[in-house]
């Protein structure tokens, strides 16, 4: 029997200009549906787990299409509530070389942002579940999002479900102060935390979770920061990716994990980029898959980073790869030779 894993969050309609066209050049938009936690669910389903997504979609054909986009890749949508006004939208212009990608958000008043905790039967949702993943985006949606997140965490703990939380600070949605006020309440007893709070490390203008392109990797510093997170919130693993931004089309990626004792840094992958969106979610999904299926945390980290590196070669938000394909990269095959 397959393992039941649950992710919860907002799913948005992503409207991308074709190729590398600028917004002002576009006569059409490619449409995919994505969101941090839904991306994790699709990746986990592709890895063979029984992935359920918890969200709310409007009761119209755009909501239907969002639902179909999950079912297509095997994600279970039994817990998707229907109703509300609209699906959030984000417009995406894919940069290249020295020109950055651009995102224009149009997500206010979405069905998920206006959902109530009563839209979800969390006891049913977490029955027999083994893992729950969510992110800082849901509480960022407003007071209702905070309540939904709290109810979900409580129910998950009640059912003995492991919890991972991607802090995912989004400055377009809320201020850093509000973020720092809310997240601690959700972090208690989380098993895996992606990123850290600025309260454990000096605050910056832009709260940075995972950009180390211009700093050298100082593992002791990570040990220190992550140690404080573990101490303060009783977290099992703290983890982050480190991205080197050579250009919009060329990045490198590595990651570190800390279990309270040993700090471990993964291999580093250097790659050109087909689509950067969802790279972090692919990492989260890989790490969760590893931990949920019995890999040790170092193996799980390697699986996560390889999974994320592969994601950058795939269009859309979701990581459409198999366990075998990720393991091939983990095992060092990045030569791109044709598979016949």
- 73 makes contact with its own copies (CB under 8 A): yes
- 212 makes contact with its own copies (CB under 8 A): no
For residue 24, give every residue at least 6 positions away whose Cβ sits within 8 Å of its Cβ, in sequence order, or none. none
Least Å distance, CB 117 to its own copies, is 24
Q: Are 149 and 190 in contact (CB under 8 A)?
A: no
CB nearer its own copies, residue 278 or residue 290: 278
Count of Cβ atoms closer than 10 Å to residue 248 Cβ: 17
Q: Is 237 helix (H, G, I), strand (E, B) or coil?
A: strand
Name the nearest CA neighbour of 14 among 70, 93, 79.
Answer: 93
Window 75 to 114, contacts with its own copies (CB under 8 A) = 85-86, 89, 91, 93, 95-106, 108-109
- 316 makes contact with its own copies (CB under 8 A): yes
**Alpha carbons within 13 A on the beta-carbon side of 211:** 9
CB nearer its own copies, residue 234 or residue 331: 331
By CB under 8 A, the count of residues binding its own copies is 82
* C-alpha to C-alpha distance for 12 and 36, rounded to whole angstroms: 10
**DSSP letter string, 180-226:** HHHHHHHHTT-SEEES--GGGS---SS--SSB-TTS---HHHHHHHH
Taken as a whole, the chain contains a residue count of 340
Site string for its own copies, 170-189 (x = CB under 8 A): xxx-----------------
**Alpha carbons within 13 A on the beta-carbon side of 89:** 11
CB nearer its own copies, residue 259 or residue 325: 325
Q: What angle do CA 336, 241, 125 make, to 5 degrees?
A: 100
Window 19 to 38, contacts with its own copies (CB under 8 A) = 19-32
- Interface with its own copies (CB under 8 A), residue from 3, 48, 60, 176: 60
Least Å distance, CB 290 to its own copies, is 19
Considering only 135-143, 176-184, 248-256, 293-301, which stretch makes contact with its own copies by CB under 8 A? 248-256
Name the nearest CA neighbour of 65 among 32, 27, 91.
Answer: 32
* C-alpha to C-alpha distance for 94 and 166, rounded to whole angstroms: 24
Least Å distance, CB 140 to its own copies, is 13
Considering only 147-155, 222-230, 270-278, 284-292, which stretch makes contact with its own copies by CB under 8 A? 270-278
- Interface with its own copies (CB under 8 A), residue from 150, 198, 224, 245: 245
- Interface with its own copies (CB under 8 A), residue from 3, 48, 65, 199: 65
Least Å distance, CB 179 to its own copies, is 15
- 208 makes contact with its own copies (CB under 8 A): no
Site string for its own copies, 249-268 (x = CB under 8 A): xx------------------
Least Å distance, CB 16 to its own copies, is 9
């Amino acid at each position: 029997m397959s393992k039941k894993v649950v992710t919860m969050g907002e799913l948005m309609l992503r409207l991308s200009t074709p190729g590398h066209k600028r917004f002002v050049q576009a006569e059409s938009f490619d449409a995919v549906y994505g969101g941090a936690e839904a991306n994790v669910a699709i990746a986990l389903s592709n890895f063979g787990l029984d992935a359920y997504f918890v969200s709310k979609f409007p009761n119209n054909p755009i909501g239907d299409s969002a639902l179909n986009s999950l079912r297509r890749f095997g994600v279970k949508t039994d817990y998707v509530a229907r109703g509300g006004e609209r699906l959030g939208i984000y417009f995406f212009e894919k940069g290249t070389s020295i020109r950055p990608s651009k995102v224009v958000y149009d997500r206010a008043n979405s069905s998920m942002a206006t959902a109530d905790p009563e839209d979800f039967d969390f006891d049913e949702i977490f029955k027999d579940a083994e893992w729950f993943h969510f992110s800082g985006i849901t509480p960022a949606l407003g007071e209702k999002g905070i309540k939904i997140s709290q109810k979900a965490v409580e129910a998950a703990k009640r059912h003995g479900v492991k919890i991972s939380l991607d802090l995912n600070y989004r400055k377009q949605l809320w201020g850093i102060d509000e973020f720092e006020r809310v997240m601690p309440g959700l972090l208690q007893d989380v098993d895996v935390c992606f990123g850290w709070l600025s309260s454990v490390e000096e605050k910056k203008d832009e709260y940075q979770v995972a950009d180390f392109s211009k700093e050298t990797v100082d593992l002791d510093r990570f040990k220190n920061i992550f140690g404080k997170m573990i101490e303060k919130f009783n977290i099992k693993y703290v983890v982050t990716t480190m991205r080197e931004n050579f250009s919009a089309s060329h990045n490198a990626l590595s990651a570190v994990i800390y279990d309270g004792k040993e700090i471990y840094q993964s291999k580093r992958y250097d790659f050109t980029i087909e689509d950067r969106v969802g790279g972090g979610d692919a990492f989260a999904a890989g790490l969760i898959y590893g931990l949920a299926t019995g890999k040790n945390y170092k193996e799980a980290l390697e699986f996560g980073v390889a999974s994320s590196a592969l994601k950058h070669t795939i269009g859309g938000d979701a990581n459409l790869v198999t366990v075998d394909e990720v393991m091939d990269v983990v095992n060092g095959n990045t030569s791109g030779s044709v598979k016949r």
